[in-house]
Amino acid sequence: MRGLLGELATGSNGETVTLTDMEASIEHMSRATIRHVDAMLMVTEPYFRSLETVGRMAPLAKELGIEHVWAVANKVRSERDEEIIRSYCGEHGIEVGGVVPWDEAIQEADREGRALMDYEPAAPAVGSIELIADLLEGQTMGNGRGGRA
C-alpha cells in the first residue's frame, strides 16, 4: 500500500485526488503507509470506543505531518449524538469536518446492491458527504502536493 500511494503521489499532475479507506488502527501510521497523505478523515460514531480510536489517531497523524486532520461524525441519530462527538473532539483538539446522519436509505441501497448516490441522490447522507468532499477540495487542492487525500 505504501508503494502504491507513493507512486500515485509522485506521478500526480496536481489535479489527482486519491481517497483510501483504511481500517481504524495505527498500523498505517507506524508503517509510514500514510506519509504522502495531505488530509485524513477519521470516521467516528458517538460511542466511547470509536471516539477513543480517533483520540489516539489524531495526534499521531499530526506528528507525522498530516496537515489536515478531521473527525467525521457518522451514523448520527440525534442532536445528543452530535453533541457527544463534538464535545469529545473539542476536548481533544480535533476539528469535526462533517456530520453524516443516520440514513435508512444507506441500508436500503445496500440491500439493492446499489450505490447510495444512484439509489437516492437526495438522501440526507449524500448531502452531508458532498459537504465533506467540498471541505477536502477546498483545503487540499491548492497545497502544491497534488491534492491527495
Retrieve residue 64's grid coordinates: 507525522
The chain-wide mean pLDDT, for the chain, equals 83
Secondary structure percentages of the chain, helix, strand, coil, to 5: 50, 15, 35
Is the pTM value of this prediction over 0.75?
A: yes
The answer on pLDDT for 143 being more than 50 is no
Q: Which residues neighbour 91 within 8 Å (Cβ) at sequence distance 6 or greater?
A: none
The answer on pLDDT for 144 being more than 50 is no
pLDDT (mean) for 103-121? 96
The answer on pLDDT for 27 being more than 90 is no
What pLDDT is recorded for position 92?
A: 97
What pLDDT is recorded for position 64?
A: 82
Give the chain's domains with CATH numbers: 22-140 (3.40.50.300)
